[in-house]
Amino acid sequence: MTQEQIAISAVLVLTMGLFGWGRWRYDLVAMFALVSCVLLRLVDPSDAFTGFGHPAVITVAAVLIISAALKNAGVVDEIASRLSGLTETPIMHIAALTCVITVASAFMNNVGALALLLPIALSTSAERNRSPALILMPLAFGSLLGGMMTLIGTPPNIIIANIRAEEAGEPFGMFSFAPVGFPIAVVGVAFITFIGWRLIPKERLENDSAGQLFEVGSYLTEAKVPEGSAIVDQTLGDIDGLQDSNVEVIGVAGRRHFAKSVSSTFKVSAGDVLILRSDPNDLKGFLEQYKLELQTTATPAFNTPSPENDVMIEGVVRTESDLIGRGVEFIRRSTGRSVALVGLARNGESVLRRLRQQTFKPGDVLLLHGDVETIDQHMNEMGLLPLASRPIDLNRSRRVMLAGFIFAAAIIMGIVGITSLPVAFLMAVGAYVATGILSPRQIYDDIDWPVIVLLAAMIPVGNALTTTGTTQLVANSLIDITDGLSIYWIITLLLVVTMLLSDVINNAATALVMAPLGIALANSLGVNSDPFLMSVAVGASCAFLTPIGHQCNTLVMGPGGYKFSDYWRMGLPLEILIVVISVPLILWAWPL
């Protein structure tokens, strides 16, 4: 190996390790990798920022904006609102919602599709007296399956298409992924509907969730015992009805970060701050019965009876939220103290620190208190996915038709060659603004900037892997290791490695790293690179084993009450099934 190959390999290994560790956000890790490559003279300084003008980056940004426009117009919501009659049995329930999100995710950002269908899934689960865990993991997996079907379904497909354009002079088309992606989606949805959901642990499916969004006891809240409360000078064991209620006293706030555990013999004093675990529906009655003061994280005004325009709302911390790694003080500053944190739910681990000492993580569910007129805006600004039903636009039908027409026109222009697909999508964005479906501010608000920075930074790094000959070196090594094996098994190996990598790091980063390797393998074998690129595209979208592999998996973890180890139970058989059916399909659709 040359010095350059050793250097780029070291940068890549360290970058992959930092991606998997998750201590720093992936866009910052990607910028670290880019700067390191520039300093090590692996990337020319004049080429360091060419990724920001790359067609893949422009297309991803445009797709995110178009997804917001389709969401505003109610395209998916129009379909989802007609599903209430199709949820009578568990299988019908799963099939209806999973099919809708699979189709929607083929044409819009899958996180956007999940944001539309998540409240519907929760409300229909409550109506049918079913645990949200029955529906939400299938919903998340369906969104990933749908993204495989089209060019714009997921960022890896866009990346693969543009890498193919650089390699062969022509990108993959809008529906080039369909011959492989569509059968995978159909088989995957069928597996999830009839078999997969049965692999979710029974204790998740048996939670009594009717009328509430989360299982009882999932929220951490605090309540102060004032002078005159009926429980002053009583032990917890002597408080009437406490042992039979759905509110659990788990501790008393101490001077340090952690709550002090208490037993039934603990004697309550005036001024104590009790650490409670409760559902918000049960909490209100508990506070009124014992005349306790809810301790929020805003001004004392929130401890007084709420005016009619005050509301409590639940939201999930998205993976790109500004709240990640920050605490309560950030909520205070960013909302002008108009929004208070009332409760926190974090599945998979015990939450014993006081609310004011918490730092937020992706997938946390926050119970917030604020003004009904402004709380939605604040939640959007903080990067929270609301779990309340959204208001219905009375003018929605006309906007649905208009939004659909604009989107279809852009796709047709790109397919027939009137203009390139990125330019067609930018024209669609302009049309959405001109027709009022999108506001100019939303153009920038709805772009997932960390993903854009990730792509723009990793594209030059990926090019450095090729220019230094590292990808060819690795490809030759793989060929030596697999000597005697058919190309069928080499493609299978490439697919499986890509799948495993996508389960721990961002799928776009996975595609950027593995696609050049696939091309190098094909060149070494003297065969067409298309089946190798397609195997990378499929593998990069198969993040079914962990909640951190994809944003959709992370977002349903809290509302579904899942643990980290729950995902592989349904995800592993699904990935094995995809490997079995996708390799023959790839070789059939894209011959060597």
As beta bridge partners, residue 252 has: 260, 274
| Token code pair at residue 524 | 């070494």
343 φ/ψ angles, rounded to the nearest 5 degrees:
-150, 160
- Contact between 427 and 157 under an 8 Å Cβ cutoff? The reply is no
- pLDDT computed for residue 454 by the predictor: 87
3-state secondary structure at position 369: strand
- pLDDT computed for residue 10 by the predictor: 94
- The continuous run of DSSP H or E covering 523 comes out as helix 507-525
Q: How many CA atoms lie within 13 A of 382 on its CB side?
A: 36
Q: For 390-429, b where at least 16 C-beta lie within 10 A, e where not — what string?
A: eeeeeebeebbebbeebbeebbebbeeeeebbbbbbbbbb
- Contact between 515 and 167 under an 8 Å Cβ cutoff? The reply is no
| Token code pair at residue 110 | 């899958």
- pLDDT computed for residue 213 by the predictor: 40
Taking each continuous run of H as one helix and of E as one strand, the counts in the chain are: 23, 9
Provide the residue ranges of all domains of the chain, joining segments of one domain with +: 3-26+58-207+444-589
Rounded-to-integer distance, Cα 411 and Cα 516, Å: 28
Q: Which residue has the tokens 């060929």?
A: 479
Q: Which residue has the tokens 């592999």?
A: 549
- The continuous run of DSSP H or E covering 366 comes out as strand 365-371
Rounded-to-integer distance, Cα 590 and Cα 451, Å: 29
H-assigned helices in 3-87: 3-21, 26-39, 55-73, 75-80
- pLDDT computed for residue 91 by the predictor: 94
* DSSP structural state of residue 103: H
- Which residues, 6 or more positions from 581, have their beta carbon under 8 angstroms from its beta carbon? 183, 184, 187
- pLDDT computed for residue 392 by the predictor: 39
Rounded-to-integer distance, Cα 18 and Cα 172, Å: 31
Distances (CA, A) of 478 to 8, 482, 591: 18, 6, 21
- Contact between 29 and 18 under an 8 Å Cβ cutoff? The reply is yes
Task: Tell me the torsion sign for CA atoms 516, 521, 526, 530.
Answer: negative
Q: Which residue has the tokens 């939670």?
A: 207
pTM above 0.75, yes or no: no
| Token code pair at residue 399 | 């906007």
* Closest to 96 measured CA to CA, from 66, 124, 119, 62: 124
Q: CA triplet 67, 101, 318: central angle to 5 degrees? A: 60
- pLDDT computed for residue 281 by the predictor: 63
Amino acid 547 reads P
* Closest to 539 measured CA to CA, from 508, 566, 584: 508
One digit per residue, the tens of pLDDT, for the chain of length 592 reads: 799 999 999 998 998 888 877 778 888 999 999 999 999 999 999 999 999 988 888 988 888 898 888 877 877 667 666 776 788 899 999 999 999 999 999 988 888 788 778 878 887 887 788 888 999 999 999 999 999 999 999 999 999 999 999 888 888 988 999 999 999 999 999 999 999 999 998 888 875 443 344 443 356 778 888 888 888 888 888 887 676 666 778 778 755 545 676 777 888 888 888 888 776 666 777 787 888 887 765 544 344 434 456 677 888 888 778 898 888 889 888 888 788 887 788 765 555 566 777 888 888 888 887 887 788 888 888 888 877 544 434 444 557 889 889 989 998 998 888 988 889 999 999 999 999 888 888 788 778 888 889 889 988 998 898 899 998 888 888 888 888 788 999 999 999 999 998 987 888 888 988 999 999 999 989 999 999 999 999 999 999 998 878 888 888 887 888 888 899 999 999 999 999 999 999 999 999 8
| Token code pair at residue 211 | 């009328």
Amino acid 309 reads N
Rounded-to-integer distance, Cα 279 and Cα 283, Å: 6
Rounded-to-integer distance, Cα 13 and Cα 513, Å: 11
H-assigned helices in 417-506: 421-434, 440-445, 449-467, 470-481, 487-502
Q: How do strand 310-317 and strand 340-345 relate by DSSP bridges? A: unpaired
Rounded-to-integer distance, Cα 12 and Cα 509, Å: 11
- Contact between 26 and 19 under an 8 Å Cβ cutoff? The reply is yes
263 φ/ψ angles, rounded to the nearest 5 degrees:
-110, 180
Rounded-to-integer distance, Cα 315 and Cα 334, Å: 16
Q: What does the radius of gyration of the chain's CA atoms come to, in whole angstroms? A: 26
- pLDDT computed for residue 337 by the predictor: 78
* Closest to 276 measured CA to CA, from 219, 233, 314: 219
